[in-house]
Structures are given as structure tokens and as C-alpha cells.
Amino acid sequence: MHLLIIDLIPPGTFDPRGIHAAIWEEYTGEQFTPPSDQRLTLAAYIGGGAFEAYVEPTSVGLDLIDMPLLLDSDRYVPTPLQMTYQSAWEAVPTVWRKVIENRDPKG
């Protein structure tokens, strides 16, 4: 089984270095520490015999890059994360955008 993780929630108590680090350490026994200025992570995992991952650290404010959604170890479908996010955001009503952005919904 292949897996694509889009971890855009800051690390917490149970994953102090992020979800990818928790997964990576569980399956490989190796430690992963993201860059201090990019604590969020995009990770595409190759399932099967060898446990491999394509990892892209990111942070709030950066555009999301396209990530591979793996079909097997040699083939993948690119996932347009930024375009998908932008399209979804445009469909959110203005009142809820203001709430999400922590702005006064009436002003």
C-alpha cells in the first residue's frame, strides 16, 4: 500500500517532530527532524518491501507543491495540492473565510 500524507497541523504532544517523523521512526527505527523553519511536511510513501518516502518540508505561507500519489514504485499521479486548496478556498462563503482568518465577520 502506498500513502500520501499532507501534514499541515503543527507538531503536538504525540508527534513532536510531525506525523512523518512518527511514521518514519516506527517503520525504520531512524530519527527524522524537520528543518526548524519548515515544521510541516508533505510525504509520499512507497509501500512493499523497501520502505521509502519522498519528503517535502513546508511551512505556513508557502505554496503547496504537487506531490506524487504513487501507483507502484515506478508510476505515480501528480496531485495538484495548491490548485486544489485554492479551488476549495474560493468556494468557502466570505463570512466563513473571515472566521477562519480570525477577522470580524461583520466588517
The answer to whether position 59 is within a domain reads yes
32 belongs to a structural domain: yes
Tell me whether residue 93 is in a domain: no
Is the pLDDT score of 36 beyond 80?
yes
Sign of torsion, CA 100 56 28 13? negative
Mean pLDDT value of segment 69-84: 92
Which of 63-72 are b and which e, b meaning 16 or more Cβ less than 10 Å from the residue's Cβ? ebeebbebee
The kind and range of the H/E element at 88 are helix 81-90
The reported pTM is 0.81
Residue 100 lies in a domain: no
Is residue 16, in this structure, part of any structural domain at all?
yes
Give the model's pLDDT for residue 105: 63
24 located within any domain: yes
Q: pLDDT of 37-75, one tens digit each?
A: 999 999 999 887 778 899 999 999 999 999 999 998 889
Q: Is the pLDDT of residue 100 over 80?
A: yes
- Split at pLDDT 50, 70, 90, the class of 90 is very high
C-alpha distances (whole Å) from 98 to each of 3, 27, 62, 69 are 33, 41, 20, 32
The region that residue 72 occupies, defined by phi over 0 for left and psi between -120 and 50 for alpha, beta otherwise, is beta
Tell which residue, 32, 34, 40, has the closest CA to residue 9.
40
- Give the domain extent around 57: 3-79
Domain total in the chain: 1
